[in-house]
Amino acid sequence: MNILLNIIWIVFGGLMVAIEYVIASVGMMITIVGIPFGLQTMKLAMVALWPFGTKIDDNSWPSGCLAGVMNIIWWFVGGIPIALTHLFWGLLFCITVVGIPFGMQHFKLMRLALFPFGKSIS
């Protein structure tokens, strides 16, 4: 079932969202300072491409408070606009019964877009 939902997701905008994340990631990785943010945006792109069946876990132990500082910087640099976009699409998809699973995936992506550091994807 997850494979079918992921295929429908890709056809109806998931590929576009993933491509946007990859372009933003490459743009951030041009500078040395932006490499950590670009890597986290690649994480967002991976989940945006195949959201059904992916699980996001909190693993804040190895990075400690550095993840918190990076999340705060990310929040102001790019997290808020991305999260608002996912909030809009999530609410729009949840209007219909058929779109609720897709709206829930946008809400999952919204949480990851706000705080990507210290998270692992499985």
Give mean pLDDT, residues 65-78.
80
pLDDT of residue 70: 82
What are the start-end ranges of the H helices in 1-122? 2-9, 15-29, 35-49, 65-74, 80-93, 100-114
Give the chain's mean pLDDT.
85
97 backbone dihedrals φ, ψ, rounded to 5°: -65, -40
pLDDT at position 11 is 87
Which residues are CB-neighbours of 105 under 8 A, at least 6 positions away? 9, 51, 52, 90
Note the pLDDT tens digit of each residue in 50-63.
Answer: 988 888 887 755 55
Tell me: the pLDDT tens digits for 8-17?
889 888 888 8
Q: Which amino acid is at 30?
A: I
The answer to whether the beta carbons of residues 57 and 122 sit under 8 Å apart is yes
